[in-house]
Amino acid sequence: MKQEIRVPEIAEGVTAGTVVSIAVAVGDEVEAEQTLLELETDKAVVEIPSPAGGRVSAIRAEEGHEVEVGAVIMVLETADEKQAKDKPEAEEPEAEEPEAEEPEAEEPEAEEPEAEEPEAEEAEAEEAEAEEPEAGAAEAGAAEIDLTGVRRDNRVAPAAPSVRRLARELGVDIYQVQGSGAGGRISADDIRGYVRDTMQRVTGGGLPVSEFPGLHAQRPLPDFSRFGETSREPLSRVRELTADAMSYAWSTIPLVTQYDKADIGKLEAFRRAFNDDAEPEARLTVTALLVKVCAAALRAFPHFNSALDLARRELVLHQFINIGVAVDTPAGLLVPVLREADHKGIERIAVELNELATRSRERRIKPAELEGGTFTISNLGGIGGSAFTPIVYAPQVAILGVSGSEQQPLWNGSAFEARLMLPLCLSYDHRAIDGAAGARFLRWICQALENPLQLVMKG
């Protein structure tokens, strides 16, 4: 029998993905669980396996194109249908069972035209819509002329004429609407959703359900060709998601950043001594030590391990501690999440963290491993710099930034002596956390790094 293979629900909130590569061709024999294609979605590349063994009879997806969850990507001819085709004619007269089964075997053939009818009707409707009377076309053209100031390279928005007309009637700049259809095509629902979310932000009616379309909310670009030659490259999926998330955070979170330094001379001596005898996968990093320290700090300061729900006027206090760690990869910034960090020892944290970072750089990280974080650490110490201002990743309320450690003179009461100082910067959502609480939280982390026994005494 023929079996349609659809895009499965990969993770919560994921509605679509981009086809990175197709591993099979029409006519190929495949086995159950064999990879059919790779799909990039939510900062991860996932493999879509075959649900059964059989022969690929059709491929309805293309590399580089976006497909939605539930969309048919391939058609598989399973073993049952192949056996029915190869069955000898001599067996047909036997008993009444073949006669009873014949209508069932013919049903898929009868259903196929019925399933195609809506698609044909939709195609005819789109053609009829595109072939509007000249008066209507003139009206649409006149209105589009008014939008030339916000066009990009004179490209028309990917939307049907009726959708563009709806945008004009509602006073919506269609070039700021993010389409949910294939290839970013904009629908009437996208227009209405944009209006609804905009009104929620303007009137303070709670946070919008969908993320702020930061990637599209910008002023029109000037004509750069007047100044010299330029080139363009498409945004990667990772960069697109990062732009959207950062724009949303920057436009909604009143950000405060606290700065402090920790004397990590003794801790660094211990780390180096431990690594001399440690296995490569268990080598301690400053980030691994910080994960353990921050997990303990979040237990001591539960408001930093929360989410703000303005719609209900509540602060959601998490009873679990999942710490995300920013990883620099060739594809962009990924943030795998170390779950239940407060219940793990430092050595186990180091092993898991090294493994997550490796799979992130190789794009083998799973979507579920990028979800559920309650606090984030961004360590730029390996690159350099003395301080920076990390942006809180909503719906989290705080993030810790780490810069490069360096020897600095420190007054001990009678003289200056060289100490290895680690600069830390804590950014937090001022709606959920006060400045005094932010200073205490960061000082607690510094003291724990300077005197790790504090974790045992207060654990």
**Cβ 428 vs Cβ 258: under 8 Å:** yes
| Of 205, 171, 211, nearest in space to 191 by CA | 171
| Of 70, 74, 72, 68, nearest in space to 184 by CA | 68
Query: Do strands 323-325 and 337-338 pair parallel, antiparallel, or not at all (unpaired)?
Result: antiparallel
**Cβ 419 vs Cβ 263: under 8 Å:** yes
User: For residue 112, what are its two tokens?
Assistant: 């196929």
**Cβ 287 vs Cβ 264: under 8 Å:** no
Whether residue 395 has a cis bond before it, omega within 30° of 0: yes
- 311-328 in b/e burial notation, b at 16+ Cβ within 10 A? eeeebeeeeebbbbbbbe
Q: How far is CA 342 from CA 15, 270, 320, 338, 433, in A?
A: 32, 21, 8, 10, 22
Give the pLDDT score at 87. 52
**Cβ 421 vs Cβ 408: under 8 Å:** yes
Q: Which helix (H) or strand (E) holds 98?
A: helix 97-130
- Tens place of pLDDT for every residue, the chain, 459 residues? 788 888 887 766 677 888 888 888 888 888 888 888 888 776 577 888 888 888 888 998 888 888 888 888 899 888 665 555 555 544 444 444 444 444 444 444 444 444 444 444 444 444 444 444 443 433 434 333 333 334 444 456 788 888 888 988 888 888 888 888 877 789 999 999 888 877 766 544 444 444 445 555 567 788 899 999 999 988 777 888 888 888 888 888 999 999 999 999 999 999 999 999 888 888 999 999 999 999 999 999 999 999 999 888 999 999 999 999 999 988 888 999 999 999 999 999 999 999 999 999 988 888 889 999 999 999 998 898 889 999 999 999 999 999 999 999 998 889 999 999 999 999 999 999 999 999 999 999 999 999 887 666 655
Give the pLDDT score at 124. 46
Active site (catalytic) residues: 430
Q: How far apart are CA 442 and CA 305, in angstroms?
A: 14
CA 349 to chain centre: 24
Q: Fill in the DSSP letter of residue 379.
A: E
Q: Fill in the DSSP letter of residue 95.
A: S
Give the pLDDT score at 456. 62
Give the pLDDT score at 81. 52
Task: Find tokens 């006669």 and name the residue.
Answer: 99
Q: Which helix (H) or strand (E) holds 135?
A: helix 134-146
Give the pLDDT score at 453. 75
User: For residue 224, what are its two tokens?
Assistant: 């750069």
Give the pLDDT score at 420. 95
Q: How far is CA 128 from CA 74, 124, 131, 134, in A?
A: 30, 6, 5, 13
Give the pLDDT score at 333. 87
Q: How far apart are CA 131 and CA 162, in angstroms?
A: 12
Q: How far apart are CA 73 and CA 5, in angstroms?
A: 6
Q: What are phi and psi of 325, to 5 degrees?
A: -125, 120
Give the pLDDT score at 85. 52
* Other Cβ atoms closer than 10 A to 183: 9
Q: How far apart are CA 91 and CA 177, in angstroms?
A: 61
Amino acid at 146: D
Q: Which helix (H) or strand (E) holds 377?
A: strand 375-379
pLDDT one-digit tens code per residue, 151-184 = 444 456 788 888 888 988 888 888 888 888 877 7
Q: How far apart are CA 356 and CA 141, in angstroms?
A: 53
